Structure formats: C-alpha cells, structure tokens
Amino acid sequence: LKHAFLKICGPCRETSAFNCCSDLLARVREACKLAKAPGDLSSNMACFTGLRDCLGAVANPIVAGGKTGSFKVCVCGGAGGIGQPLCLLMAQNPHVSELCVFDLTIAMVPAEGVATDLSHLEKKSKVKGYALDKDDKPADKLAECLTGCHLVLIPAGLPRKPGMTRSDLLGVNAGIAKNIVEACAKFCPDAILGLIVNPVNSVVPAMCELYKKAGLDPRKICGVTSLDIVRANKFVHEATGAPVEGIDVPVVGGHAGVTILPLFSQVPAAKSFTKEQIVAMDKHVQDAGTDVVNAKGGKGSATLSMAYAGAKFGNAVLCGLAGEETTECTYIMRAAAEGAPLPYLASKVTFGKTGIVKAHGIEKLNEYEQGRFEECLTQLKDEIDAGLQYAQTTSLAR
C-alpha cells in the first residue's frame, strides 16, 4: 500500500507529500478497523471523509497540505518554441493567478495571440500578452508586465549557429538576457528569475554579477538545469523498469557537455548498473540535446522537453513561495561558506517562502564520479570566467 501511495505522490518527492502518505496510511488502518468491527455510523463516515480528503491531497502533490499560492508569473520569450508550451504548463499550475506572456513583435506568433489562446483554459490564471519592438528597451516599457511578479522564466536568446563559437553566442545572448534582467531589477527585484538562455554556464554568472553590482541579491537568479534531471530519470527508468516517479537522479556541475554530471550512485534504481552502463548512461545524458536536434533533422531543438523541465523548475519555486519547501537541482551562485569548489555550481537547492533557503552540498562520489567531477570543474571554470569577464564590461541601468 505504501509503495502504491509513493508512486502517486512521487513526482513531488518532498516531505509534505510523504507526510501526507503517512497520514493516509493511518486513515486506511483506522478505516479497516472500523470495517472489521462496525460501530457508530458517524465514526465510520468521519474516518472515510478524512480519507477522501487525504487522497485528494496525495493525488495533487502540488497543493499537498492545502498550501496553494496566488502568484504572478511572467514568461519572457513566451511566443517561442519553448515559450509557448511553457506558458501552457504554467497557466495550468494551481499556484499561478496571473500569467504574463512577453515576446518581441518579430516573433512568429504574437504574444497577445498566445495569451488570448491560453486565457480560454478553465483555470484560475488570468493571462495577458505584451510585445515590444526589437529596439525597445524592456526597462522602459515592461512596467505593467513585470511589476509584482514573483517568478520570471526566461527562455530567450538565439540558438548556436554553424561556425559560431561559444564566445560569439555569449556575446549575443548575454546582451538579450541583460535587457530582461535589467527590467526585472527595476520592476520586480524580489522575483526569482529562471534563466533558460544558452550558454547557461556563462550567462548565469554574468547576470548574477550584474545583480550583485546593482546591490541586489544574486541568488534570485537561477540557471534552469532541470532538463538534465528529467532526462536522467527517464533513462534510468527505461534501463531498469523501475517506476519513474520514484527515481530522482541528482545532476550537478553545469548545463552543457562534460559539465553535466548525473550522480547515478545516489539512485537506488541504478545500483545494479555496471561501470560500462554508467559510462554509457552518463554520455547519453550529456548528448541528449544533440540527439533531439538530429532526430528533428536540424529543424529544431529540445523545445517541448525543455518547456516541461522549465515548468518543473517553476513549480518547485512556487511551491516554496507558498510555504511548501521544495528541492530541485539548479545552477546558482555559491556562498563561500558553503565550501563549493567553484563560485557557480548546479546541485540540489531548496526553495522556500523567500526563494532559495538552502544550497545542498554534493554527497559522496564514487571513483568514476570523482574523476568526472574534476573534468567537469575544469571545463566549467573556463565558462564561468567567460561570464564574469562579460559582467566586467557593463552594468545594469537603474
């Protein structure tokens, strides 16, 4: 029975859901006792009513414990390939009362059109679209859109084109991210910002340093790495047949190539993997984005799965803000006191009412993972340095 309930609320993987399971089991036991020894009808009804309520909470772990928020969320780049499905998912989140869809007027689909489409969903969220010309400054014109936002998700920037170096891509996309981050600093400085802007390993440090220079909290900015976890979980499920709801692979390091390090040793379902299987699975997670590009014949990238992962990250943040502390891997600035080997690193992070309440350390690694971690850090340091160098050349206008 416990296994069945853990499968139901497994996606939450948080204390609140497991407490709810324990409560549910207690109610089931009580119901069984009453069934074996029928007594007062009102006692039976009270027990089964409580059981029904508890089942409802388990079936919807997002609102387990009854703590449902009412938050304003903005998706910048909301009319794009990632943005549209991400908006669809966020509009259905029970914590979202207001959803803003922002994009440029040159987008293939008008942001207002996406918003109007989503406004017809039978959900509580109120949806509105905003659009700017490409030469407009978000900090000048997005006051209504961003003011009061609790969470801003930013699937923006250009994809890497043939012949373009990482430095070239950073120069373009850091500028795009800076314009949006600058507007957030002005209109919603307390909001959590989830960056889905490549190269994440460099763009996040650049934006955090700019926030810090502006006197704001750089831990309000997170690099969304949830897709690495989503992929690792699914690949372990496919290899083992274990229920995917009970698999949670920590993925640490960064969010590109060898900087992506899934820690399969910390997953019970993967304990039976041979060294060869772990090496192959590690590579599979690293190369998964390329697999999607190849499968789409070069005509697209991982838009749908990225939207799913972005919504997963967004839900973790909103659950935390609503009072249900929730843990999700993400790429953030690390405090010196945390003893991290680099100033920026992806690992498990717990979100609470004020945003990030704890950045978890990396648990004991096996021999293979230790070697890979050293490789990861070498590459990641260079990419972090590129972001820090960018931040030295500019500042946020306030």
**Which residue type, as a one-letter code, is found at position 155?**
P
The three-point CA angle 46-17-53 to 5° equals 20
Alpha-carbon dihedral of residues 155, 340, 253, 171, nearest 10 degrees? 50
What is the rounded CA–CA span in Å between residue 183 and residue 140? 8
Three-state SS sequence of 201-249: HHHHHHHHHHHHHCCCCHHHEEECCHHHHHHHHHHHHHHHCCCHHHCCC
Instruction: Please identify every residue annotated as catalytic.
Output: 255
Tell whether the torsion through CA atoms of 169, 172, 175 and 180 is positive or negative.
negative
What is the rounded CA–CA span in Å between residue 194 and residue 222? 5
* Phi, psi (rounded to 5 degrees) for 48: -70, -30
What is the rounded CA–CA span in Å between residue 56 and residue 16? 14
Among all chains, which residue has been given the structure tokens 């296994």?
Answer: 3
